[in-house]
């Protein structure tokens, strides 16, 4: 981030026509964005949403309430403009790109060995890297992948410790019995891949999935291009947290868009130290919670960059 732009944004915030701090988290949000964009009075012109889709061998273990073919069906729904993320992208003026990743070649069942080879994982990372538009000034990454809350739970557990059950949630709607079975599957996957879990990238390939790797690649590219990121829910945050685990501070260019209703998300946000902007019980994925938070950022930046100062408005500063 640009320290000079940050200081200038903070100085501007202090003289806007409002009591100090009265816009709460909107103020810090605008200053954070200004710092990453290197502009003390920034606008938001080209927010980009990228959704990655992948299929998971682990689905064979019965971890999802929906069948695997729904991944491809939902990709078609994205293309036709019928999904939630299409409506949210339009509402908040964001572009939307969708990248299906070898849907007819699911990852391997991670209870039997690594979900991906090194080459497969790198290919997905690099698809993510390449998916970010050079001129984007905000990035949201989302996902679609039947079974991917299981991968995300395993990845979060591998990276941040604790028991499998701490990270395992109901996904699209499991009952108690299926939830407990899912935690057992996560445990078995972690045992089977134990030798790979020592480093974050190893964990990503061992129990992650192509769309998780692609999200991680896109978030890394955004860091290099100084494009601020709004993180979505549990799966997105699990993928992003690979970098935070590898190097604390690696996600300083990201804010948490929302707290998902999926079990482990609150714990994961605490692990990476990011309080969510919204908490509305969403658990859809697709980048939907982060897309909704784009509206909050737009409001924050409109106030920061558009408001009059006390001097300009002739208002007495308390």
- Asked if 213 contacts 121 with a C-beta cutoff of 8 angstroms, the reply is yes
Q: For residue 158, what are its two tokens?
A: 């591998």
Stretch touching its own copies by CB under 8 A, among 49-57, 88-96, 157-165, 197-205: 88-96
Confirm or reject binding of residue 315 to its own copies (CB under 8 A): yes
The only residue of 11, 163, 246, 313 in contact with its own copies, by rule CB under 8 A: 313
Catalytic site residue 286?
yes
Confirm or reject binding of residue 119 to its own copies (CB under 8 A): no
The only residue of 1, 7, 15, 17 in contact with its own copies, by rule CB under 8 A: 17
Cross-strand pairs, 95: 48
Confirm or reject binding of residue 3 to its own copies (CB under 8 A): no
Give the H/E segment covering residue 299: helix 288-306
- Coil, strand or helix: which one is 16? strand
Confirm or reject binding of residue 162 to its own copies (CB under 8 A): no
Confirm or reject binding of residue 261 to its own copies (CB under 8 A): yes
In whole angstroms, how far apart are CA 108 and each of 190, 191, 193, 312?
14, 16, 12, 62
Q: Which of residues 163-192 bind its own copies (CB under 8 A)?
A: 172-173
**The one catalytic residue among 143, 191, 286, 312:** 286
Q: Which residues in the chain belong to E strands, given as ranges?
A: 47-53, 95-100, 138-144, 229-231, 254-256
Tell me the C-alpha distance between 149 and 11, whole Å.
43
Give the H/E segment covering residue 152: helix 148-160
Size of the chain, expressed as the number of residues it contains = 318
Confirm or reject binding of residue 269 to its own copies (CB under 8 A): no
Within 10 angstroms of residue 236's Cβ, the number of other Cβ atoms is 34
Confirm or reject binding of residue 266 to its own copies (CB under 8 A): no
Residue with smaller CB distance to its own copies, 238 or 292: 292
Confirm or reject binding of residue 19 to its own copies (CB under 8 A): yes
Confirm or reject binding of residue 76 to its own copies (CB under 8 A): yes
Q: For residue 234, what are its two tokens?
A: 């549990």
Given its phi and psi angles, is residue 72 left (phi above 0), alpha (psi -120 to 50 degrees) or beta?
alpha
Fill in the per-residue mask, 99 to 118: x = in contact with its own copies (CB under 8 A), - = not in contact.
--------------------
CB of 163 to its own copies, least distance (A): 25
Q: How far is CA 248 from the centre of its chain?
A: 17
Q: Which residues bind its own copies (CB under 8 A)?
A: 16-26, 65-67, 69-70, 73-74, 76-77, 80-84, 86-88, 90-92, 172-173, 261, 277-284, 288, 291-292, 295-296, 298-299, 302-303, 306-308, 312-316, 318
Annotated active-site positions, please? 286
């Amino acid at each position: 981030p640009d320290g000079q732009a940050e200081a200038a944004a903070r100085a501007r915030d202090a003289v806007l026509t409002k009591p100090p701090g009265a816009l709460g988290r909107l103020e810090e949000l605008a200053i954070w964005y200004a710092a990453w964009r290197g502009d003390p009075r920034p606008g938001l012109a080209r927010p980009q949403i990228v959704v990655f889709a992948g299929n998971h061998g682990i689905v064979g273990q019965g971890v999802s309430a929906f069948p695997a073919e729904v991944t491809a069906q939902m990709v078609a729904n994205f293309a036709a403009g019928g999904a939630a993320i299409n409506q949210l992208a339009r509402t908040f003026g964001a572009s939307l790109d969708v990248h299906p990743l070898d849907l007819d070649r699911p990852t391997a069942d991670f209870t039997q060995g690594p979900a991906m080879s090194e080459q497969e994982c790198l290919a997905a990372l690099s698809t993510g890297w390449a998916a970010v538009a050079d001129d984007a000034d905000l990035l949201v990454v989302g996902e679609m992948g039947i079974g991917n809350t299981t991968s995300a739970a395993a990845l979060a557990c591998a990276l941040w410790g604790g028991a499998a059950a701490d990270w395992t949630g109901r996904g699209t709607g499991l009952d108690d019995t299926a939830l407990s079975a899912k935690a057992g599957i996560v445990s078995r996957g972690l045992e089977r891949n134990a030798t790979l879990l020592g480093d974050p990238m190893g964990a990503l390939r061992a129990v992650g999935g192509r769309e998780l790797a692609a999200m991680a690649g896109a978030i890394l590219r955004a860091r290099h291009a100084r494009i601020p990121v709004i993180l979505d829910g549990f799966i997105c945050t699990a993928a992003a947290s690979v970098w935070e685990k590898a190097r604390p501070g690696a996600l300083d260019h990201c804010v948490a868009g929302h707290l998902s209703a999926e079990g482990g998300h609150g714990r994961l946000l605490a692990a990476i130290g990011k309080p969510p902007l919204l908490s509305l019980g969403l658990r859809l994925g697709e980048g939907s919670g982060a897309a909704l938070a784009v509206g909050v950022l737009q409001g924050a930046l409109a106030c920061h960059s558009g408001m009059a100062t006390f001097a300009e408005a002739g208002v007495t500063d308390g």
